[in-house]
A and B are shown apart, each in its own frame.
Chain A
């Protein structure tokens, strides 16, 4: 017995090192997964408050830019409103697409773009009705998916996260595909699963499909930048330019789908009964 204790004592440094690394491994495996429980995240009180304070201080520097972006969005919305004026006057038998979703406004208080796994922190949390799994869109398109919430903050998987992929379609002919970031440059991403016979040209828009209740259908993801057709591959290699400028995203909308729980419960039933 004495020998055992002596042995442990002699290698105590290595033992502590090993124990700490095991704790780290546990955290990495359970906490970094796309759908894992999360407790050590920047939506926590301390980190959230630090980011909020820093963002309060620096937000003045970008006021001009933000004003311009909001004004642009405003004019775009006005234009759309003008186009819909006829529809508004007619009796509506079908509710317009977006009676399904409500949008919660939040400010981005922290944002990363240079890592293979990037996150944003928002200044709204469960108190405003945000829940994990909700989609986040900006004025120019898709931004990310909520990872974790505390009372007043939310952590968001940026679209710039190698585990995030978004159900998408090509605007031109409705081909279903999937948009995913390749971990390289924050301005570009890939579109996967487009069969070789589909004609895709540079400049085509890629939109969210709306099959999952995360993003409203038709939200812009990006615009096709280049298409490569390799003989050895089943699918086209498509590069898109992301419509959201992740380096300067400041205000976002969190998408709250009213029928999400119902839809998921129904789909769950389908997979169970199979």
Chain B
């Protein structure tokens, strides 16, 4: 990993965490749907990162959110699951001949339809695990499943909005 990639990853990590902790922590659509925008950081990591690096980044990203949310281990667990599934999803959907150097799992590089399927699968898995662990009480499981579903839709909407707003649309090499 070269230093330029590292710095751009670090900056986008900080941006996602700050947005999550200071803004989206206090927003719930209809009092129910919570946006976990920070998963965008994990979804958009470049293809070229090694699988084990992805898992470790997922763990530390989740743990950082946990520290701010006072939920040690819960977001870390969901994020590690997301990173793990991502590894296989990316492997399964790889084009013949592999990904180009510097290609990112974004709408710009992969197309809206690919991104929708990719992020929907991973976000739903992440949210299901997250809300089920958080439920902590069997009487809340049904409600948690419902909240996981609508929160996943909310998160997806945020992810797509963020991509159109903050990610450059014309193809440039190696930008984050």
Contacts and interface: CB of A to CB of B under 8 A. Distances in A.
Interface of A: 12-14, 16-17, 20-21, 23-28, 31-32, 38-42, 44, 46-47, 50-51, 54, 110, 112, 114-117, 119, 121, 147, 155, 162-163, 183-186
A85 B86 CA distance: 70
B143 interface: yes
A31 B134 CA distance: 13
Contacts of A26: 73
B158 to A, nearest CB: 15
A47 B137 contact: no
Interface centre among B32, B52, B62 (most CB of A within 10 A): B52
Contacts, number: 110
Given A16-B52, A21-B80, A24-B77, A116 B68 contact: no
Contact of B22 (A13, A16, A54, A114): A54
Contact of B68 (A25, A47, A185, A186): A47
Given A20-B55, A27-B76, A116-B136, A155 B84 contact: no
Interface of B: 21-22, 25-26, 28, 31-32, 34, 51-52, 55-56, 58-59, 62-63, 66-74, 76-77, 80-81, 84, 87, 133-137, 139-140, 143-144
Contacts of B81: 21
Given A42-B68, A162-B137, A183-B140, A112 B73 contact: no
Contacts of A24: 59, 62, 73-74, 76-77, 80
A115 B87 contact: no
A152 B106 CA distance: 42
A184 B147 CA distance: 11
A115 B74 CA distance: 13
Contacts of A114: 28, 31-32, 34
Contacts of A163: 136
Nearest to B73: A27
Contacts of B133: 28
Contact of A155 (B70, B73, B76, B139): B70
A116 B134 contact: yes
Contacts of A27: 66, 72-73, 76
B72 A28 contact: yes
A134 to B, nearest CB: 17
A239 to B, nearest CB: 15
A17 B140 contact: no
A32 B73 contact: yes
Contact of B74 (A32, A162, A183, A185): A32
A147 B72 CA distance: 13
Given A13-B52, A13-B87, A20-B59, A116 B70 contact: no
Given A20-B76, A21-B77, A24-B77, 20 more contacts: A13-B55, A14-B84, A20-B56, A20-B59, A25-B77, A27-B66, A27-B72, A28-B74, A28-B77, A31-B72, A32-B73, A32-B74, A32-B136, A40-B67, A50-B22, A112-B26, A114-B32, A117-B71, A162-B140, A185-B31
A12 to B, nearest CB: 7
B74 to A, nearest CB: 6
9 contacts: A13-B84, A17-B55, A25-B77, A41-B72, A47-B67, A114-B34, A116-B137, A117-B134, A183-B140
Contacts of A32: 71-74, 136
B169 to A, nearest CB: 31
B54 to A, nearest CB: 9
A47 B21 CA distance: 10
B32 to A, nearest CB: 8
Contacts of A50: 21-22, 68
A39 B70 CA distance: 10
Task: Report, nearest first, the 6 A-B pairs whose CB atoms are least far apart.
Answer: A27-B73, A31-B72, A24-B77, A28-B73, A114-B28, A119-B70
